[in-house]
Structure 1
Amino acid sequence: MSPQAAEAVFTPRSLAALAEVCDLAPLPALNDLTTVRAKEALAGAELLVTGWGCPRLDADVLAAAPLLKAVVHSAGSVRGHVTDACWERGLAVSSAAAANALPVAEYTLAMILLHGKHVLERARDFQRSRVRDNWLLTTGHTGNYRRTVGILSASLIGRRVIELLKPFDFEVLLYDPYVSPAEAAELGVEWVELPELFTRSDVLSVHTPLLPATRGLVSRALMDSMPVGAVLINTARGAVVDQEALTEAVCGGRIRAVLDVTDPEVLPPDHPLWACSGALITPHLAGSQGNEWERLADTAVAEVARWAAGDGFAHPVRRERLAFLA
């Protein structure tokens, strides 16, 4: 992984815990697998702990690591470094995606609740006027009671959001082509077709991975069908949403948006969304940050311990599931 990722994610406590369950190669972490030091480490490595900035584990790297049997990734997606050569070798692969899903779901819940009460807009108005609005004059569009929340994709994050919404008085809808209505009912939500998800949702939260089939999935027609004043939250990938159509809908005042990701990321300085009062743009911060990185390290250490004990991974990544993963 990159030196910055190693320093951020693996604290002295985490490294000590890792050293208790394996023979840990000397630091610093490797971020170039072609050096003499890297080849010496790879020659005896049975398992790699990877992270953000890991080079691709291609056939040449694997040839230098004849004993390698497993990869434990201390972040989310493994698409950037786990190659076909890894699967052909039969490597066991684990990811901390489930751990990274938790803060994203917490961010989503916070934004749903805040935007239901128009907190950010009302705080901005209050800061300008220094006069409190008459709360008895707030409309029926303000508040979180019996609001309808739509979840686009029952991913790890989408499922966690569904869990977090349970204590609240929301009606929760789900569209996911790989989940049946019966399975959705078991999750405590109503399965609907994609167009109905948009026409009925006061808040629409996007959790689908960016795949060829999902690029531009949130189209102009779908956004145009949303209720006036509805909120679209995107913590997935910017390109899942038609950026031009979203900009027109939000800057035109039809809907509001919470965007932790955009297309491109970052938007150009003169992009209309920066000045649009209906848009809240955050710098891809929904995922693990600060002390939340410790959860990623703890997950990786636990996976190494399970693998060393012969118990297999609690969070395996399967090659046949890659087409559905971020």
Structure 2
Amino acid sequence: MTAKTADVWLPFPAEEIEGLPDSFRYRRWDGEDEFPADPGDCVFYVAPYMKSPEVTVRPLAAMPGLRVVQTLTAGIDHVLGGLGDLRPGVRLCNAAGVHTASTAELALTLALASLRGIPGMVRGQDREEWHAGFYEALADKSFLIVGYGSIGSAVEDRLVPFESGPVARVARTARTTARGPVHALAELPRLLPQADVVVLTTPLTDETRGLADAGFLRRMKDGALLVNVARGPVVDTAALLAEVESGRLRAALDVTDPEPLPAGHPLWHAPNVLITPHVGGSSSAFEPRAKRLLARQLTRFAAGEPVEHTVLVTE
């Protein structure tokens, strides 16, 4: 590769990222209609953050020399539709670790706010109403974390000082950790009835799409809380609506299906549902961590070393 004849597309200005190698021409593109340069010269494409899949994959078909696609999210579902346009051998890397702390923090916030009745208190404040009474705490509550990767593990880390009850862990495959066993997805029917709070942190895959369906929700104990900081389609929205409208379950959702949730959708006003607008990773922690990741990845790429966090290679 001849120095500075290959392009890297970034959603940030290159001068704002410390430690970038000087081997490339850096082009800023954050999903605008106009491309910043000829896509054919791009060898390393950093997908814009929180843009639609249509925007994200739009330049890929015109990038015959591309070698790496880097997302700024842990999930990769928004770029999968464009991978068929790429030549074999292109590496798709995610942003493992960038959103871990922020998303785990929000999962705990959603659980705590829902259990302590904060949404009702905020509405009561608007109406000058005093909502005294007893509310539930995180302390002694049993948790089931579905998707025990870096985010799921970080959720458990943050439960410790709150003195939660037992924590069960589920991932695609069973394994053992220092904290205890991680169960396979097949164990969910046995584990769901034991949990006061079920936290979804799993990536969206063919296996997890619609995972929290009517049967899953039916197995949750009466009064349990479902927290979703994964992806909206992991949950069957119609099935969830039936459960929360009956009053049997509660939900705290950072992601929904559809998303954005349109005006007039019944989830907006369903009882015992707290909704945040997909902000798990959109915090002050995101940008500095994302920039450090890009500097590391591009330094490795410029040196001919394997990039990190590769989740698949095109065939």
Q: TM-score, normalised by structure 1?
A: 0.76
In the TM superposition, what are the counterparts of 1:238-257 in structure 2 within 5 Å? 238-257=232-251
Q: Of 153, 174, 182, which aligns to 2:169? A: 174
Task: Tell me which residue corresponds to 1:61.
Answer: 63
CA shift, 1:205, in A, is: 0.8
In the TM superposition, what are the counterparts of 1:33-72 in structure 2 within 5 Å? 37-39=37-39, 42-43=40-41, 45-52=42-49, 53-55=55-57, 61-62=63-64, 65=65, 68-72=66-70
Task: Tell me which residue corresponds to 1:114.
Answer: 113
Q: Of 134, 148, 152, which aligns to 1:158? A: 152
CA shift, 1:115, in A, is: 2.7
Q: Secondary structure at the match of 1:265?
A: coil
Residues 69 and 92 in structure 1, CA contact (< 8 A), matched pair in contact too: yes
CA shift, 1:156, in A, is: 3.3
CA shift, 1:46, in A, is: 4.6
Structure with greater helix percent: 1
Structure with greater strand percent: 2
Task: Tell me which residue corresponds to 1:29.
Answer: 29
CA displacement, residues 153-196 of structure 1 (integer Å, 9 cap, x when unaligned): 2233223222332333221112224123xx1x434456472113
Q: Percent identity?
A: 28
Any stretches of 5+ residues in structure 1 without a counterpart?
Answer: none
Q: Of 263, 270, 283, which aligns to 1:269? A: 263
Q: Of 201, 206, 209, which aligns to 1:212? A: 206
Structure 2 CA distance, aligned partners of 1:177 and 1:241? 17
CA shift, 1:12, in A, is: 4.0
Residues 260 and 285 in structure 1, CA contact (< 8 A), matched pair in contact too: yes
Residues 172 and 189 in structure 1, CA contact (< 8 A), matched pair in contact too: no
Task: Tell me which residue corresponds to 1:296.
Answer: 290
Q: Pick closer, same or farther for the CA change 1:10–1:226 going to 2, 3 Å.
A: farther
Structure 2 CA distance, aligned partners of 1:30 and 1:168? 39
Q: Secondary structure at the match of 1:99?
A: coil
Task: Tell me which residue corresponds to 2:6.
Answer: none
When the two chains are superposed, the root-mean-square deviation of aligned CA atoms in Å is 3.4
Task: Tell me which residue corresponds to 2:140.
Answer: 146
Task: Tell me which residue corresponds to 2:5.
Answer: none
Q: Secondary structure at the match of 2:190?
A: helix
- 2:255 is the counterpart of 1:258: no
Task: Tell me which residue corresponds to 2:16.
Answer: 13
Residues 250 and 278 in structure 1, CA contact (< 8 A), matched pair in contact too: yes
Structure 2 CA distance, aligned partners of 1:264 and 1:54? 18
Structure 1 CA distance, aligned partners of 2:260 and 2:303? 44
Q: TM-score, normalised by structure 2?
A: 0.79
Which stretch shifts more, 78-87 or 232-241? 78-87
